[in-house]
Amino acid sequence: MTEPSPYLSGLVLTGRRVVVVGGGGVAQRRLPRLLETGAQIDVISPAITPTIEGLLTNPDLRWVERGYAAGDLEGAWYVVVATDDPEVNDQVSAEAEERRVFCVRSDDRSRATAWTPASGQHDHVTIGVLGAGDHRRSAAVRDAILEELRTGALGARDSLDKQPGVYLVGGGPGDPDLITVRGRRLLAEADVVVADRLAPQQLLDELHPEVELIDAAKLPRGRSAQQEEINRILVDRALAGKLVVRLKGGDPYVFGRGFEEAIACADAGVTWTVVPGITSSISVPAVAGIPVTHRGVTHEFTVVSGHIPPDHPDSLINWQALAQLSGTLVLLMAVENLPKITATLLAHGRPATTPAAVIADGTLPSQEMVTADLADIATTAQSAGIGAPAIVVIGNVVEVATQVRR
């Protein structure tokens, strides 16, 4: 007998009662998306998982701490049956049938009156896929569709919800796969992209041919002049009705001058949005095998810019205080000034034997790392030919990382 073809429909459950019978793993997977609908959800189960318990802070979710009882579906619009007891599941689905309430069963789809599709969202589009009971196939098709939407292959550039303005997007530490989903979607929709030298360059190859690509590294030299020109371009293109992506490495607000650009947009009356990125200060050490914190080793980590030396009159850093800390010290843009920085830390009391590492081209195929004690790390990096961009990590977590052989 041929299985009947289901009729896909989007249920509007806002303010309506939904009953979930069971508090285990299946219920845990279903609840987040149900909560997004604004439904009033009752979970009926003698016990629930810790994750579900954490969701109870949501006022739309209520836990009925007992087993299922006849009459529990009174006023329900939708039912999810997710227990490991077939007799209870049969009882719930029978009552749902009697009350004409659509019912999903996790144990036996042939006895259900509704099936849960593999679903996902992109922008304001919801995808639902039913694969005749083959959940892996349904999920694979859903994921393929979502990826096509996110990269623009399925017409993301023609979205009716496309909003002009400036988007300050963090591209992550270098590997193009480490940009956020929203960041990648905005690149697919962009009219103009203003890219930093440290932004993931492979992503630029994916841009549509009609996108105006502006290399910020080739703008007029001098930090002030360059930043003024970047600000001018962002404002000019946005006022022309363009969707402008300002693509940076790492996170826009971690030594990325992102908020200077936000201020320029605000002053010009231009709509701007920040899209956070994965900062290299945490991700590069992690990918290299170094945790910036570790239980029993350090309770803090500090991120510092090393683009000017400690004795420079413009320095805002209290190097003496940093030297007294026992936690992890992460230095960005510090390769050139590393000899002066390490000498200053040593002079103010940081032990010479403190483990340290320098990681160049983090997350990229060309990634390279050297390690040494604090007293020797600058000369070790120089001898190895380590250059910018690189991350410096100082602290006992470097030694902890050697416990794991990769």
Q: Which of 158, 161, 205, 218 is catalytic?
A: 218
Of 82, 101, 116, the last residue of a domain is: 116
Task: Give the pLDDT score at 216.
Answer: 85
Q: Is the peptide bond before 291 cis (omega within 30 degrees of 0)?
A: no
Does a structural domain hold residue 11? no
Q: pTM of this prediction? A: 0.72
Q: pLDDT per residue over 331-389, tens digit each?
A: 999 999 999 999 999 999 999 999 999 999 999 988 999 999 999 999 999 999 998 88
CA dihedral (307, 313, 315, 321) positive or negative: positive
Picking from 249, 275, 301, the residue at the C-terminal end of a domain is 275
Query: Which of the four pLDDT bands, split at 50, 70 and 90, describes residue 123?
Result: low
In this structure, what CATH number is given to the domain that contains residue 72? Answer: 3.40.50.720
Do 187 and 247 belong to one domain? yes
Structure confidence at residue 43 (pLDDT): 97
Quick count: other Cβ atoms within 10 Å of Cβ 208? 13
Domain membership of residue 10 (yes or no) is no
Instruction: Look at residue 147 and give its three-state secondary structure.
Output: helix
Domain C-terminal end among 129, 144, 160? 160
Query: Does residue 273 register a pLDDT over 90?
Result: yes
The residues near 255 (Cβ < 8 Å, ≥ 6 apart) are: 305, 307, 332, 333
How many domains is the chain built from?
4
- Euclidean distance between CA atoms 59 and 400, whole angstroms: 43
Percent of the chain residues past pLDDT 90, beyond the cut: 69
Residue 405 — pLDDT band, cuts 50, 70, 90? low
Helix or strand holding residue 247 (H, E): strand 243-248
What is the CATH number for 187? 3.40.1010.10
Residue (of 100, 94, 96) closest to 79 by Cα position: 96
Q: How far is CA 74 from CA 45, 71, 89, 96, in A?
A: 17, 6, 17, 9
pLDDT of residue 1: 45
Q: What is the mean pLDDT of the chain?
A: 89
Query: Tokens representing 401?
Result: 């990382």
State which residues form the domain around 24.
17-116
Q: Are residues 285 and 396 in the same domain?
A: yes
What is d(CA 383, CA 60) in angstroms, rounded to the nearest whole number? 61
Q: Is 340 a catalytic residue?
A: no
**Same-domain pairing of 23 and 77:** yes
Cα gap 39→30, rounded to integer Å: 13
In this prediction, residue 4 carries a pLDDT of: 65
pLDDT of 8 strictly over 50: yes
Residue 406 lies in a domain: no
Give per-residue pLDDT as tens, 301-332.
999 999 999 999 999 999 999 999 999 999 99
Range from 46-55, 72-81, 127-136, 150-159 carrying the lowest mean pLDDT = 150-159
The share of the chain scoring above pLDDT 70, in percent, equals 92
Q: 175, 196, 251, 361: which one is catalytic?
A: 196
Count other Cβ atoms within 10 Å, centred on residue 388. 13
- 198-243 confidence digits (pLDDT tens): 899 888 888 888 999 998 876 666 665 689 999 999 999 999 999 9
Full strand arrangement of the beta sheet holding 301-305? 301-305, 328-332, 390-394, 355-360, 368-373
Please indicate whether residue 85 is annotated as part of the active site.
no
Same domain flag for 130 and 101: no
1, part of any domain = no
Q: 3-class SS at 10? A: coil
198 and 108 inside one domain: no
Q: Which of the 8 DSSP states describes residue 250?
A: B
pLDDT of residue 80 exceeding 60: yes
Count Cβ atoms below 10 Å from residue 257 Cβ, excluding itself: 17
Q: Which of 9, 5, 51, 6 is nearest to 27 (CA)?
A: 51
Indicate the pairing of strand 118-122 with strand 125-129.
Answer: antiparallel
Name the H helices within 129-203. 135-151, 181-189
In terms of pLDDT, which residue wins out, 323 or 132? 323
